[in-house]
Amino acid sequence: MTESVIKPFLCESLGNALLQNEWEKWLRAFMIYLEVEDVKSVIQKRTKLLHLGGTQLQTVAYALPGAIVEFSEADQNDVFTVLVDKLTAYFSPKQNSTFERHLFRKISPEEGETFGKFILRLRQQIQKCNFGSTKAEIEEICFKDKIIDTWVSTELKKKLLEKEHTLNEIIEACQVDEEINKQSQLMQSKPVPETIHKITNLKSGKIGDCGRCGRPGHREDSPMCPARQVKCSRCSRVGHFARRCRTNLKRPYPHSNNKEAIGNPKRKYVHRIENGNPEGNKTIQRNCFKIDSDEEYEEMMQCRIGGADVSLVIDSGSRFNIISQDDWLTLQLKKATVLNVRGSSQNQFRGYASDQILNVICIFEAPISIKLNAEVIASFFVIEKGRQSLLGRETATKLNVLRVGLPINNIEFVPPFPKWKGVRVKLTIDPYVNPVKQPMRRIPVALEGRVNAKLEEAYKLDIIEPVEGHSPWISPMVITFKGNGDIRICLDMRQANRAILRENYPLPTFESFMTKLKNARIFSRLDLKDAYHQLELDESSRQITTFITPRGLFRYKRLMFGINAAPEIFQRRMEELLAPCNNVMNYIDDVIIFGDSKEEHDKTLEQIRSIFKDNNVTLNNEKCSWETNRIKFLGHILTDKGIEVDPDKTESIRLFRAPKNKEETRSFLGLVTNVGKFIADLADLTEPLRELVKKDRKFTWGPTEENGFQKLKSVLTKIPNLSYFNPKNKTRLIADASPVALGAILLQFNDEGEPNIIAFASRSLTDVEKRYSQTEKESLALVWAVEKYYFYLIGLEFELVTDHKQLETIFKPTSKPPARIERWLLRLQAYKFKVIYKSGKENIADSLSRLCEQTPSSCYDIKGEHSILRIVESSAPIPISISEIAENSTIDEEIVDAMTCLQQGSWDSAMSKKLYPFRHELSAIGAIMLRGVRIVIPTTLRQKVLVLAHEGHPGESAMKRRLRSKVWWPQIDRDTEKFVKNCFDCILGSQATNPPPMKRTEFPNGPWISVATDLLGPLPNNEYILVLIDYYSRYMEFKVLRSITSESLIGACKEIFSRLGYPKQLRTDNGRQYISLEFKNYCKSCGIEQLKNVVFPHKLTPMFDTTEYEVLKREGNIVQVSGGGKTLLRNANHLKRVLGETEPADVTNAKSVPIPATKPTPQPAAQFEDQAPAEDHGNSTEGLKLKLVRKGGMWEPAPRC
């Protein structure tokens, strides 16, 4: 045996009932492995157990106290046995022999089980039973089991099963319990019985006379009655004499054989109901207390049981629901949904004031509702020959049609939206993502009232709550419209989703569902009501859902649509909830129940309803389907015979028309090739069309091509099935837009990388959509395709393929698309996709968009166009109307040409070159062009807009901000600057920009008397250079620093001054290091006078406006690139200066330092004074004033002027 054979022990995924058996199996396999491998050391045994057991077993082992102990050489303790004993005790629940023997007696053969497997189960269970070894032990065990099974009450049984008891202890406990019950009954006061009288006019016979023979002394149901076997000579019926015949009386039912109804035609009876007794097998008698009045009128309650309408009377005196035999037949004829039909019961029922036991045909459960009230599941008892169906007290109270107590008026209470019990969702937030506060998006005035009403409703239902104070996350609110015209409040969570870490919980695959459905015959589909809102968000996870409204900040208290991790979270919670159930599967909130028989299906459905009720899970009954053999699930039709393709998928194939050129023929052949594995003899069928697209062949569509095309089309439309959708496989959605239609194909790739077509789709464009730009059409195709296949794509990562290159950039989260495309992107925020570009030849959806029949489309988003129009209205300057902008745009040649280029997708016109760089941001609404959400102003109105924006003379920057928020046109900044510079009032109010006067600096008498210092950096490696330059000799010292604090500067200065001495004057700028108290005290302690320069705009320290600064800028990176700091210092200090032929090093050190350089060239002396730099007449670098420019991570001087 090898290690790979032993799989890790996944204890967390096993239920408590399976832990012990699975642990024993795994441990047995591990012990065999140790024997095969001949492992002797206890330490190696323990190590191998933890290694092969996996991470889940390791977590349990290290969490158990005393399981992992240190090995002692002296004691030679068996650490392996200690660990095994601890794990065995943990995985083995405490057993009760009495309960195990009860389970043994309950074992019965399962359906399809062989005799050998049945004997094996018996042998496995009997090992836990402990039947005893001696005769006395066996007798005692039998006595104990019989007492516990038949005599003790439920409460006492729970106590006795807590641990093992002897027979004497059980007998004593039963005697004590019996005595306590007797004393408890004596202490209770006995109720005084009261008689309810009913006066009924009997039409024949004296009271006490038999209804069959008319003689006194016995009842008509007595076996002593002589008329029981006598045939009536009047009506020819057996059971009464002719003098007691009442055939002329009006009966409630013409063919009723009920004798009580003959004696009292106005009395209505309810019959016995059999119901299971949870306390044991004792027969308990129940009464139904409905009392009829003599009035003919009786108020009926119209109820809906299992989808069929039934009239019931509320019976507040009984807690049981009664269905007459006629109503039971009605439910069966209407195929009402009934569950768990059974016919056995331990209870007996009789009518009020009657000793006759009522006969129950069967008992069943069914959903019942009254009008718009909530639906509940109730038990019903079918009475043989019953006259009236009754609604019991308990069910009537649950349906809110029976109230106990006084009503409280004028108080309206809205219950909160239901939430699951004990569930709080905690989102994982990435702390490294910076929070984003987005501004509020304006809501149209006409929608403010409806939006406020929606917010109020969500607040009352406990779905949202107001936020007080600061919130780091704020998302904008987006209003969308439902199909019925109502509005829906959504959030733009694109920025917030970047910080929400997904759980990466695997969604179930369709293949795993198919293995469970192989024997399914009956299906039910459950739909949860607003499923996400039923999960409560943890307090720490609500902040990221904060959104801004006109009424302030709110945040969600429930899980919401738009959170990218919501599908995975809900799938995990639902699977945990349904884990105890078999024959059930769910995909997020879509739950399917199935069974190979009605009994198995009903059993599972009853179990799931119980789980949902216990956890407060609410269903949307209007969308649920019950007990059917055909149901839609994940885009497939599940039937009792197998899986069928949804007819909606293949509808688009039927709409193809004949190609009109080679390009369309080639696209059609590409589409056919992708479905080739579904078609036999594909090469023969496509031969005429393949010949048609050859380069040397002229396109001529004749009868041969038409016949081949129609034959291919006929084969394609008769494809029985498309491939199954497998969420585990790589998914690709290809979409394309032509000038007249949209097309999409959903593909998946199997393990071998072969593409499988899941579905086709196409639709034509409306007249308005045809006027969209090509970029907008391609974006619309992607959005429409994703929403078309919502059931496939939600919660999955998929590729979104387009043949429009620009969409790769537009669909990124950081993009700023036009208003219309931005609105579409909001609808895709709950999807996880990546946009991929493929050329038109590779895009097989191109054929669907081009070959789609020109059918009218009802998909035009009129609400979206209205929202874009409202954006235009809000962006227009108030004195200029929308109609004025539109009118001038129609005569503006530049805008008209740009709109033509937008629709055609070609920007070859020279007139629109100024707008070409912004083509991906441009869109049109009517005759008005937009860049994003800003209006493109026509040329004739630009001067008027500038005058309006300059009102109040706000200045150049403020005027630009005004214009950028509303409008745009090419070179708008240049026009704004020119307008401001030509404004006379702005010129008068502007400040003079004359430079301050020059101030001479006194020349020192010798070297190292007056020194200037400054910092250069930061360099690309985040280092700085401290530079000191002597005013007399231009001698330079520098020190590379990693920190530029005052302490670092003082340390560097100490090192330099220790070699060269302290200067008398030290000239610095006003940097924080130089003006600190620490640096001032250092200069004072060293006797140095610190001089500070006056800082002027764009001016450097005077001493550094020299060639030395240029040298530092050009060669500063030598320090961090090649370590050439010494070379830099040498070159700087040995440059020839204006002090004759003396170099700075010679002047400072009073000696010549030999260096590898050419012979000095004489140079005229000059006064070393701070003067304005001279004009550069050649290649000399003397006297240049430079700026520090950083390019590509390197410090360089600015170009010469």
Q: How buried is 239 (Cβ within 10 angstroms: 0-12 exposed, 13-18 middle, 19+ buried)? A: buried
The one-letter amino acid code at 786 reads: V
Q: Report the C-alpha gap between 113 and 91 in whole angstroms.
A: 29
Contact criterion met (CB below 8 Å) for 491 and 557: no
pLDDT at 648 over 80: no
Q: Give the tens place of pLDDT for each residue, 1054-1113.
A: 999 888 889 999 999 888 888 899 999 999 999 999 888 755 444 445 555 444 444 454
Find the length of the chain: 1201
Contact criterion met (CB below 8 Å) for 531 and 570: yes
Angle (deg, nearest 10), helices 135-150 and 97-106: 80
Q: Give the tens place of pLDDT for each residue, 554-572.
A: 999 999 888 888 989 999 8
pLDDT of residue 680: 42
Q: Report the C-alpha gap between 345 and 381 in whole angstroms.
A: 10
The one-letter amino acid code at 145 reads: D
pLDDT at 139 over 50: yes
Q: Give the tens place of pLDDT for each residue, 36-74.
A: 888 888 888 888 888 888 888 888 888 888 788 777 765
Contact criterion met (CB below 8 Å) for 628 and 523: yes
Q: Report the C-alpha gap between 859 and 862 in whole angstroms.
A: 9
Find the helix or strand (DSSP H, E) in which 144 lies: helix 135-150
pLDDT at 1152 over 70: no
Q: How buried is 964 (Cβ within 10 angstroms: 0-12 exposed, 13-18 middle, 19+ buried)? A: middle
The one-letter amino acid code at 243 reads: R
Find the helix or strand (DSSP H, E) in which 764 lies: strand 755-764
pLDDT at 1019 over 90: no
What is the rounded average pLDDT for all residues in the chain?
73
Q: Report the C-alpha gap between 794 and 791 in whole angstroms.
A: 6
Q: Which two three-digit tokens encode residue 168?
A: 């004497």
- The least confident of 347-361, 520-534, 664-678, 1138-1152 is 1138-1152
Q: Provide CB contacts within 8 A for 359, sequence distance 6+.
A: 271, 272, 383, 384, 385
Sheet with 928-931, side-by-side order of all strands: 922-925, 928-931, 934-936, 967-968
Instruction: Return the higher-pLDDT residue of 1114 and 213.
Output: 213
Phi and psi, residue 17, nearest 5°: -70, -25
Phi and psi, residue 1091, nearest 5°: -110, 135
Q: Which two three-digit tokens encode residue 424?
A: 């709080």
Q: Give the tens place of pLDDT for each residue, 9-23.
A: 887 766 565 677 788
Phi-psi label, residue 1098: left if phi above 0, alpha if psi -120 to 50, beta otherwise: left
Number of Cβ atoms within 10 Å of the Cβ of 504:
7
The radius of gyration of the chain's CA atoms, rounded to the nearest angstrom, is: 46
Q: Report the C-alpha gap between 145 and 103 in whole angstroms.
A: 12
Q: Which two three-digit tokens encode residue 806?
A: 């620009």
Q: What's the first-to-final CA gap in the chain, in angstroms?
A: 84
Most confident of 209-223, 251-265, 290-304: 209-223
Instruction: Return the higher-pLDDT residue of 628 and 752.
Output: 628
pLDDT at 417 over 80: yes
Q: What is the DSSP string of 56-125?
A: HHHHHHHHSTTSS----TTTT--HHHHHHHHHHHHHSPPP-HHHHHHHHHH--PPTT--HHHHHHHHHHH
Q: Which residue has the tokens 């492995």?
A: 33
Enumerate the β-bridge partners of residue 342. 363
The pLDDT of 116-141, averaged and rounded, is: 72
CA 816 remoteness from chain centre: 25
The one-letter amino acid code at 797 reads: E
Enumerate the β-bridge partners of residue 656. 852
Q: What is the DSSP string of 574-627?
A: HHHHHTT-SSEEEETTEEEEEESSHHHHHHHHHHHHHHHHHTT--B-GGG-EEE
In 343-491, where does DSSP find H-type helix?
Answer: 393-398, 445-460
Q: If we measure between CA atoms, which residue out of 706, 665, 645 comes closest to residue 851?
A: 665
Q: Report the C-alpha gap between 1116 and 1137 in whole angstroms.
A: 21
Q: Is 1062 helix (H, G, I), strand (E, B) or coil?
A: coil
Most confident of 115-129, 486-500, 767-781: 486-500
The pLDDT of 751-774, averaged and rounded, is: 75
Percent of the chain with pLDDT over 70: 68
Contact criterion met (CB below 8 Å) for 671 and 848: yes
pLDDT at 1163 over 70: no
Instruction: Return the higher-pLDDT residue of 353 and 464.
Output: 464
pTM greater than the 0.85 cutoff: no
Q: Which residue has the tokens 């945990």?
A: 576
Q: Which two three-digit tokens encode residue 351?
A: 């009518």
The one-letter amino acid code at 700 reads: T
Q: Give the tens place of pLDDT for each residue, 612-643.
A: 888 888 888 888 888 888 888 876 777 776 66
Phi and psi, residue 1188, nearest 5°: -90, 115
- Greatest distance between any 2 Cα atoms in the chain: 161
At 1053, the pLDDT band (50, 70, 90 cuts) reads very high
Q: Give the tens place of pLDDT for each residue, 904-963.
A: 767 777 666 777 777 777 877 778 888 877 888 888 888 888 888 888 788 888 888 888
CA distances from 1005 to 1031, 1060, 1066, 1086, 1171 (A): 10, 17, 15, 20, 19
Contact criterion met (CB below 8 Å) for 655 and 760: no
Q: Which two three-digit tokens encode residue 1113?
A: 């800028």
Q: Give the tens place of pLDDT for each residue, 140-153.
A: 777 777 777 776 77
pLDDT of residue 1063: 92
Q: If we measure between CA atoms, which residue out of 744, 781, 778 comes closest to residue 761?
A: 744
Number of Cβ atoms within 10 Å of the Cβ of 241:
19
Phi and psi, residue 572, nearest 5°: -65, -45
At 1168, the pLDDT band (50, 70, 90 cuts) reads very low
Contact criterion met (CB below 8 Å) for 284 and 353: no
Q: Report the C-alpha gap between 1031 and 1064 in whole angstroms.
A: 12
pLDDT of residue 345: 60
pLDDT at 380 over 80: yes
Q: How crowded is the C-beta side of 263, counted as CA atoms within 13 Å?
A: 18
pLDDT of residue 971: 85
Q: Report the C-alpha gap between 834 and 811 in whole angstroms.
A: 9
pLDDT at 752 over 70: yes
Q: Report the C-alpha gap between 178 and 185 in whole angstroms.
A: 11
Q: Report the C-alpha gap between 740 and 1146 in whole angstroms.
A: 85
pLDDT of residue 1126: 52
Q: Which residue has the tokens 């006061």?
A: 189
Q: Give the tens place of pLDDT for each residue, 502-548.
A: 888 888 866 567 657 767 788 898 888 888 889 999 999 999 999 99
The pLDDT of 1106-1130, averaged and rounded, is: 47
Q: Report the C-alpha gap between 747 and 843 in whole angstroms.
A: 12
Angle (deg, nearest 10), helices 167-187 and 135-150: 20
Q: Is 983 helix (H, G, I), strand (E, B) or coil?
A: coil
- The least confident of 257-261, 392-396, 602-606, 1013-1017 is 257-261
Contact criterion met (CB below 8 Å) for 501 and 429: yes
At 1050, the pLDDT band (50, 70, 90 cuts) reads very high
Torsion of CA 53, 55, 61, 63, to 10 degrees: -170
The pLDDT of 702-707, averaged and rounded, is: 82
Q: If we measure between CA atoms, which residue out of 1060, 1053, 1115 comes closest to residue 1079?
A: 1053
Within 900-1041, strands assigned E span 922-925, 928-931, 934-936, 967-968, 1010-1016, 1024-1030, 1036-1041
pLDDT of residue 353: 56
Q: Which two three-digit tokens encode residue 196?
A: 């309810």
Q: Report the C-alpha gap between 500 and 433 in whole angstroms.
A: 9
Q: How crowded is the C-beta side of 96, counted as CA atoms within 13 Å?
A: 17
Q: Give the tens place of pLDDT for each residue, 167-202.
A: 777 887 787 777 777 666 665 544 444 433 443 343
pLDDT at 1012 over 60: yes
Number of Cβ atoms within 10 Å of the Cβ of 797:
12
Phi and psi, residue 543, nearest 5°: -65, -35
pLDDT at 1116 over 80: no
The pLDDT of 673-696, averaged and rounded, is: 61
Q: Give the tens place of pLDDT for each residue, 321-367.
A: 888 888 888 888 878 888 888 875 655 666 665 667 778 888 888 88
pLDDT of residue 934: 81
